[in-house]
Structure 1
Amino acid sequence: MLQMPSKAKAEEFVDDMFRFLFPVVSGVEQGYYASELALIRLQGKLQELFLPIRDQFDVGCVDVTERFFDALPDIHQRLLKDAQACFDGDPAAQYIEEVILTYPGFFAIFVYRLSHQLFKCEVPIVPRLFSEYAHSKTGIDIHPGASIGDHFCIDHGTGIVVGETCNIGDHVKLYQGVTLGALSVSKDLASVKRHPTIEDHVVIYSGTTILGGDTVIGEHSIIGGNVWLTESIEPHSTVYTKASVSVRQKEKKV
């Protein structure tokens, strides 16, 4: 039987990394030596997580760990841009620390950034353990293989699905219930681009479904709520559905 990494240890690593990168979560600011010690512990925990699958690596666990932690400063900077985008995009947010501490959308983005780095390193299983942990906590399902640019904002977020081969540009905002999915789930299409491309500065409102690897949503477009799209949209477009509302009044009794 194929050995699997520990789900509990994967979740523990994610939570520890969140507290390390964002001390506001724990409320304790660490000094230099405490931070160095925490970093060493995190490196050890990641290598321990890799142990059951070390034989499946093209390179050694130590090499992958080093690549991951070398990328951590860049991941942190990108996450700060994401937090700023969430803050700027939500009138209800009063502090950027509030976004980091309480917004499920930001937590889902944080986990995506970690899992995507491991996905790029061709680490098996672990990226999905990370993403499914975020899914279970937030209701937001972002595949580690998706490519997502800077200043990514998720507002509310519950029910969002972003597929493996989805490409998302910079300054994109998604609301709850958005699905960026595939037209077909055939297994023989696993290596084909199946999910849509969302270009820069696009806003997609709640309940919208966009499907297909050839579907491109042009930059600076706005996609309204409850839209179903399987074809490309030109840049600077606005797409919406017309709702028809009828109110039937009861006849008054004489």
Structure 2
Amino acid sequence: MNQTSTDTPILRVNGVTAGYGDVQVLWGIDLTVPKGKIVSIVGPNGTGKTTLLLAISGMVRARTGSIVFNGEDITRARADHVVQKGLIHVPEGRRLFPGLSVRDNLLLGAYTRRDSAAEIARDLDFVYTIFPILAKRANQGATTMSGGEQQMCAIGRGIMARPKLLLIDELSLGLSPKALELLAESLVRINQEGVSILLVEQDVMTAFEIASHAYVIESGRVRLSGDTRTLSQDPMVRSAYMGFQTGVSA
């Protein structure tokens, strides 16, 4: 890890459209993630945020436009190729493997790696350092843990793949405020180790607190984008997503 923070984009999405069958979901999405930064995507449910992450990671085919990751055009790349390049997707709902222990779920994140056992063990220790509860639960069935602990395991599994960019879909889904706070702090620490992060998040205040830049997506289009400090003062954002009445200051 420890990659240098810079404004050079690790991800650039230009004019991407995508959908399912006859249903078009994304309409010309432009998005950039600078290397070494946390960028968030916010917006109502059902507006294409998850579809965008799926298109970036190769799980849904972009119909038009381009997706460039770390200088390589991955618009038509297979999902396994995208993973091997270091773009790792933590899906909505965690998707842990039932019947397997926490440790085995984490090790499956390193499945495509060709590193030595010692290197993989070091990364497993790093995950346990970030999420100490996972070390205590190492031999427990992953899906028997609490929602917050399962989310830690899902993110830890992503870290085991040695990501350059981590896509995280709905960090806060089903979590208590305390669990969300701990996870948000963990993402900041992971980012400080050099991992760029693109985060889809319903809790706009949390997203804006840890991200430097954000995109507001509505009806499959980018409605607003900018640095999070500026967006947090935008009347529409404050009214629609942060619970403030228009014209009322916090």
TM-score by length of 2: 0.29
Which structure has more strand as a fraction of its residues? 2
Which structure has more helix as a fraction of its residues? 1
TM-score by length of 1: 0.29
For CA contacts below 8 A with separation 6 or more, give which structure has more relative contact order.
2
Q: Pick the structure with greater CA Rg.
A: 1
